[in-house]
Each structure stands twice: as C-alpha cells, then as structure tokens.
Chains A and B, each alone.
Chain A
Amino acid sequence: MPGKPEESFFMDHSTSSGLYIHIPFCQTKCPYCDFCSITGTGQVADFLAALDQEARLYREQFSAFDSLFLGGGTPSWLTGAQLDQLMNNLRRHFVFAPDSEITLEANPDDLTADKLAHFRDLGINRLSLGVQSFDEAELRFLGRRHTARQTEQALLLIRAAGFTNLGLDLMYGLPGQTLEGWTGTLETALSFAPEHLSCYQLTVADETPLGQRVAAGQLRLPDEETQREFFLLTANFLTARGYLHYEVANFARQGPQAGGLCLYCCRHNLKYWTRTPYLGLGPAAHSFLAGRRWWNISSVAQYCSSLSAGEAPVAGEESLTPEQIRLETLALGFRTREGVSLATLREQPGGDAMVAALTQAGLVRVDGERVIATACGLVVADRLPLGFVGVAGA
C-alpha cells in the first residue's frame, strides 16, 4: 500500500480509499439538524437490503479500504442483529486492511456495556460520541435525549469496554452560552482524556425548527465577534492542553511520538480533506474517485426504491476540471494542518505578495514548502483561498 508523499503532515494517512455508510435513523429529530435522517425504524430492513445492493454496485471500483465510518443518523441505535447484518454484508463485498480504522457514531443514551462489547466484536475500534454539551440546559435547548450524567456514564463504559480511540462531538455558539460555560464543557470533556475532539459551531439551517425560530426573531445567535471569541478560545485552550488543531473543527491528542505524527487524527475524515478516494453508501452520501464526485438521493424511501429497481441511487455527479481541483485543494488545504503548497500559491499572479501579507497579518505561517493557517487564519479559513483565485494581477 503506497504511503502519502513524504511532505504530508498526516503521516498516518494513506492513499487507500475510505468507506462511509450513512445510517439515516434517529430516535427523535434534533431541532437544529439538517442531516438526512428520519425517525422510526420501519424502513431499517429495507434500508439494509438496499445498502447491500448498493455496495454490490461498487465492488469493482473500490476493492479495499483502510477506513470505515458508520455515521448518520444514529448508527448506535441499530440493534445488534442489524449491525451484524450490515457488517457481514460489507465484509462480503469489500476488503478492509488489517489495521483499518473503523468508527461508529454513537449517542450516549444508546450505550450499554453489552452493546459496547458487541461493537468491539464487530471490529469497531473507534467511537465518535455525540456529547454536544455537559450543560443540562444546553442539552435541552438542543433537543438531545441524553443528560450530562448519562454522557459521563457512557464515557466510563466506553473506556471500560477497552476503547482507546474515542472522539467527542461538542457544540458552541449557542444562544446565551458564555465563554465560561463553554470552557466548563471543554474541561469536563478533557477529564475523560478523549483522543479526539470535534468542536462544531451551532449552525442553523433555515428550514430547521431552530432556523425558523431565528427567522421569526425569537432566538438570537451570537454575533460574529462572539463566534470568533469562541473559536479562538477553543483553539487556544485545546492546543495548550496538548491537542493538535488539525482541521478547523477538529483536534487530536498528540500521539506518543509527537513531532508531527498525527496518530489520533480521524483517518477517515482526512480522506475528505486530502482528496483521497472514498465511497459513500446510503442516502445523501457523497463519493469521490478519480476526479469524479457523486452523491446519492437524500430521501430514504427513494433510495430504497431505486436500488430495488436495480438502479444506482445517484442524485448528481460532476467531473472536476483542473481549475476546480485547484480550488478544492486551496479550500481544503487552508482548513487543515497540512496547509497548501507554497509553489501552488505562487502560481497565481500576486501570490507571493498575498502570502507575505497573510503571514504579516498572522493568518498563515510558511513551514518549508507548506503554507499553513494559524488559529487566527482558521477563523477566516473560508476566505483565505479567495486571495489566490480569479484576480487579475499586476
């Protein structure tokens, strides 16, 4: 298996493909959620059958993976038998490298010692836990079914079950949340020494119930300046505690061999950000292979019916032009610790001056051949590429 070119920061990351499975079922729908997920388990059986059909379609194109990510939705809500069926099917169609990273997304209220043991039996070696907050009021606001206490219990169970690669999802920027409150949540999270933290800013899509409350003026989200403070506090706090800020919203505990080796970075997610092939199965899942991107229908029912009719449930696709590839490389590079190649930036007229200005403003640093966003740069990461595109130079 060929490794990534040497200059890559993410040494753990390989060029092997990753597999994502979207399991679109949740017990209840959170009011801010715009992911593809439905409540109720009526369609689970159809879905698993459809998924098996879909996997079959890609056997030739994707033979081997070194990461599997079971996401959703709420994969931890599936029964043991359903998970068995799912994993067996996948293993029948595809080969997973022996050291594959196999992640399952879980909600704290689903976890029991038995369930966790079963996950381990299935080869799952990484958990991504939807904690969101350790503040009861915030959890209620977010419409989560679990309490902070349940989360703490779940965390103990996870460790007891022998999981040594654990990621927590947390959320900041909630209405009324203070920097102190958020620091408290981070502190509590750190007391469990998670290997990985994803800190997302509450982002409210218009069509969600929360979005409608915001539109109706019943709710006020923090202003940009406050959002910036949350972002920088998170970055500084976690960096000071030994976490590597390796993507806008993602932090990994430094492995035993520090000095660049990103042992606990999520190998699967890195494939998205480094433009490594991945296959996404299930409704609304996205795939990438050989300069082509495609994505699935986002209705569960339609997903199932098109597969039972023998058709691929693809909703759209695109073949990337060299210019689009360049844009993606910039956009993704500035969001990660790997950064962007200096040579690429210099190709753009005025690129040198732009790198110098960004460096002077403390937004990027030049590390050898790589230009890497600093924490202050990451707060404006979506804007950094615009310094290097489309402008007529002098």
Chain B
Amino acid sequence: MPNIRNFSIIAHIDHGKSTLADRLIQWTGMVEDRQFRDQILDTMDIERERGITIKSNTISLPYTADDGREYELNLIDTPGHVDFSYEVSRALASCEGVLLLVDASQGVEAQTVANLYLAMEHDLTIIPVINKIDLPAADVPGVKEQIERELGLDSDHVLLCSAKEGIGIDEILEAIVARIPPPTGSPAEPLSGLIFDAHYDSFRGTVVSCRIFAGQVKPGDIIRLMYHGTVHKVEETGVFRLTREPRKALSAGMVGYLIAGIKTVSDTRIGDTITQEARPAAAPLPGFKEVKPVVFASIYPVGNDDYQDLADALEKFKLNDASLVYQKDSSAALGQGFRCGFLGLLHLEIVQERLEREYNQSIIMTVPGVRYRFTLADGKVITVDNPLYYPDPSSIKGEEEPFIRTSILIPERFVGAVMKLCLERRGVNSRFQYPSPGRVEINFDMPLAEVIIDFYDRLKTITQGYGSFDYELLDYRATSLLKLDILVNGEKLDALSMIVHKDRAREWGVRVCDRLKDEIPKQQFKIAIQGAVGGQIISRSTISAFRKDVTAKCYGGDITRKRKLLEKQRAGKKRMKMVGAVQIPQSAFVAVLKTENE
C-alpha cells in the first residue's frame, strides 16, 4: 500500500487535463506509441469532437520512480465543466492529492478557483502545474504570481510543463510519488468503499468505479450499498488499465472497479458507500448527495410515430447517465414527449446531442426553464418545472425561484460591460474582489433562470473570450412571475409557453415573436404570431402570405415534372409540425434559444 498514489487532475475547462493524462499514460508505457491517440481517455464521440471530458475516467499507471521502487499511480481524469462538479467532488474524495493545472496563457480562471476549493475541502495535497508553457503567449511569471496571490499557493513549488510537447512530465511523475501521501486504512477493517463513478456495459451491466478506504472486497462477497440500501453479489473486481483488468480483490487504498449484477446505473448512486453485508462499516462515508436536476426542458420526437422509439432511447440513455431524470409530458402542438431534468445547460446539450447521434433520435427540445416554488391560497407549497402546470394565477399567494451565486473572473477593463449584463439579468448584491492586479472577481446573486439561456455566450462575447464563469446554487427567493404564451394565428403553441419574471415577459415575448417570424416559412395565408400573458397581447409579429406561386404555362401531358417538384417541396416539410393550420419547422423551436448574433 505505501506504493499506491491516488490523484486527480483538476483545472478550468480546456487547460489541458486530458492532454496531460495522455502524457502520463505514455510516459509510464501503458500504451504503445502506435496505439496512441490524443485525449485517449475521452472515449465518447462527443467528447472527442468537442474536445471536452464529460465523464470521469480512471486508469492505473505502473511507474518505476527514481528511487527504484514500483508504484501504482491511480489517475482519475475529471470533467472540467460546472455541471459535473458533484462527480468531480466524488472523484476528489477518492484521492489523496491533485495536480492543479493552470494554462500559462489564460492564467487562473473561475473554475481553477472553484476546483482548488473543492480539493482543499478534501484536505488533498495540491501540486500546482503551469501547463502550455510552449505557447508564445505563455506568461509563466505572471501566472506564478496569480497562483501565489489568487490561490494562496507557494509558487516555489509550481511545476512547469507542456503536456502537448511532453515537457516536464518526469518532474510531475516524481512529484506525485514524492509529495502525495500514500493512502492509509487497513484491509483488516470492515469494508468501506466510495462509488465515484459508474458506467454501463451491455454485457456485464453496471461497472462501478470505486475507491476502497478500508477493508477488502472480492468476487463472491455480498455487498450492501449503504445509502441506496440494496444488496448485491460481487462477480468481478479489478483495476483499470486501458481496459478492465480483473484482480482477485480490491483492498484498502486501491482504486478499481467491481461488477455485481447491478442492472442499471441508476441503481448505483455516485457517492454511495459499499460495505460488506455480513460485516458492515459503522457509518457510510460522508458527502453523499442526491444530485438534483436544476434545468428542465421537454423533448418531443419529430415524427409522431416515434414516441416509443424515443422512450426506448431514453431508457437506454439512463442506464449510463443516472443524472438524467425524465417523465412523460404532452403538448397539443408536439404530441407525446418527455419532461427532462438536467444538471445544467451543458448537460442538456450533451443529452440532446447524444440522443440524436448515438441513439438516432430526431427530437425537438423546448425552451429550458428552472423549478419554481409556489405557495397556494390553501397554504400548500408546490414546485413547478413545467409551464403546463403553472397554477391558476388567482390561487397563487407566494412565488419563489432558485438563486445562484456567480463567480465571474475577468480582466478589469470589462467590469462595466459585465456589470451591465448581470444587472440586466436581475443580478443583486454584487461584490468585487481583486485577486491580483488588473483582475476582478465579480459575485452576484442571480436567478438561475437568467443564466440558463445564453448568459455564458454573452459573457464570452462581451469579454472577448477572457471571462470565465462558475456558479453555485444558493436558495429560493421570492419573485414575481407570469406565464407567457405564444399564439400562432390564435392557437396556443404550448411547447413555447414559459414561466418568466414579470419584468422580462415583454422582452421574451418580443424575442420569440421575432425569431418565429424568421423561422416559420411563408405560407398560403398571413400568419400572426403573438405573445400573450393571460388575455393580454404583449408582443406580435406577422408573416406575410405567398403572393404568387403558380406556373401559368402550357405543360401538356407532362404531369410528372409537376409532381416531382411537389415531392421535393414536400420532403422539406417532413420535419414540420402543424399548429392549427400553420406549419412550423423544427428549427423554430430551437431558434428561440439562440443568441441574437448567431
């Protein structure tokens, strides 16, 4: 056990975690060079394409250190995005130390700070590493100073590397061995293991990633998941190389996997504690949390006949991603579908994209919203995340919405623009910190609803890409809401209804009317689009009708040509939905979400 090191790489998005992982894997000879590909741990198509990590990945690296001894380095590569911060926190709970990566050209960003705090909460040894020193824009002294001032870390201990060029990798490996303490805990104690990840294998069921803190687990053991309360028989234990490698047992200090006939990933909660049924641990490990969705949207199949297909796809999807929650929903305009809850906007986007690409679904996703809380006249408190269930306004006595605390790190010159954006988005209670000269951290209390639609894009735009953003959920606060409906030729387009703050209703109404005007193609008759609150129209736009579309020509007996043209035009209508007599393309539902400049 003294020869084990468990560590994670943490950083702001894109600072090079996965690339550094690649180098560590290569340096330790885990993969032959010809098998190698960049970001080797990012195995999903969508990860490789977007160049981001969505799911944690674990790998055990055998390493012979300068002291001549053999070590087992267990590396957990984590996603950088805030949506997955619970997953990151469980990964960190499984480690004794972290490599804190900072991009030499970008410096410290919002999530560098957030992730550092997380690591400190877990009392982890922190090895600061400045990455990308090969870049012409690299400013090593400047970043060192930020690390010292903003992160409060001793810059003398900072390592320098270029993950891309393979510079400084040996020093990092040696630092891991030298600075990160070996795990403690005895194999003789009752079993206590932390589940920090799970994924689905169609042959074996759920493969649980875990860190054993005490005791031992081996095939044949009967284990209990302490929070979930279920009991399973262990079929296989092992460690992660590039593929799974079975071992006779996992014992205290080790990071590995176990397979125990658990059918779906949903039956294993990340953060749960594994123990022996016959000889349980005294208490579960701390830090378990039910992850709750914060962003909600409905998805509908484009074809009405495809509902069952979509239902099947969601079920499969959920096998692998327990954080997605969904239930049946239905819309007059879009038919049967599902109301889904997501960890955040990136999570929503990823679910949408994976459903389309990996599961071949054509879907329409509605405007995302948050979960509101209403106190009714009879004193009952209900939560509503679907505009369909917006209560009768006359029965509402109190309304609350979720607030977040934002942490926005920017160069000082953008303060004015960012303040303006945050105030527009109903930010209150602003605080400023100046972590280092020329840099500002802005904290606002802000309604979550205001950041889930194009806030981050706007922030990026107005700060020319220098702004970074992170948030944590605060609490529910009193607010004043309205339900905005969209009417197309007098018919309600229920899939576009939304619950909005009363001060923002008009703006949204105008925006939706304008977007729909651009997206809905001209038809045979005029189309009126209206935004309505209760019976009152607050915005409108009109799509004029076709003025002429006929060939007044002699075409004799050639009917084929006419029909073929029609067939071509009809093909373009395959992805349209009828609302009353108006044909609405799928793109219209998406367009209302896009920022103006897109």
Contact = CB atoms under 8 A, between A and B. Distances in A.
Contact of A200 (B525, B549, B554, B573): B554
Nearest to B558: A286
A249 B581 contact: no
B557 A380 contact: no
A285 interface: yes
Interface string B543-574: 00111111111101111101101110111011
Chain B's interface size range is 35 or more
Contacts of B567: 324, 327
Interface in B110-166: none
A391 B573 CA distance: 6
A224 B548 contact: yes
Contact of A383 (B546, B560, B571): B546
A134 to B, nearest CB: 19
A331 interface: yes
A393 B578 contact: yes
B304 A393 contact: yes
Interface stretch (A42-50, A113-121, A236-244, A356-364): A356-364
Interface string A364-394: 0000000000000111111111110111111
Nearest to A287: B557
Interface in A321-354: 324, 327-328, 330-332, 335, 349-350, 353-354
Contact of A248 (B302, B552, B565, B566): B552
B548 A384 contact: no
Contact of A328 (B526, B559, B578, B579): B559
Contacts of A212: none
B546 A350 contact: no
B524 to A, nearest CB: 6
A264 B122 CA distance: 94
Chain A's interface size range is 35 or more
Contact of A357 (B548, B553, B580): B580
B489 interface: yes
A141 to B, nearest CB: 18
Contact of B570 (A335, A379, A390): A390
Contact of B525 (A275, A278, A361): A361
A360 to B, nearest CB: 7
Interface in B526-542: 526
B332 interface: yes
A332 B559 contact: yes
A382 B550 contact: yes
B222 interface: no
B557 A378 contact: no
B553 A201 contact: yes
A353 B563 CA distance: 24
A235 B575 CA distance: 36
B525 A285 contact: no
Contacts of B547: 224-225, 228, 379-380
A224 B334 CA distance: 35
Contact of B578 (A200, A201, A394): A394
A228 B335 CA distance: 38
Given A224-B547, A358-B524, A350 B578 contact: yes
14 contacts: A200-B552, A201-B551, A231-B552, A248-B551, A249-B553, A288-B557, A324-B567, A354-B578, A380-B524, A383-B546, A391-B573, A392-B303, A392-B335, A392-B578
Given A357-B525, A361-B524, A377-B524, 16 more contacts: A201-B552, A225-B547, A227-B548, A272-B557, A278-B557, A293-B559, A293-B560, A324-B567, A327-B563, A328-B562, A353-B580, A361-B526, A379-B547, A380-B548, A382-B551, A383-B524
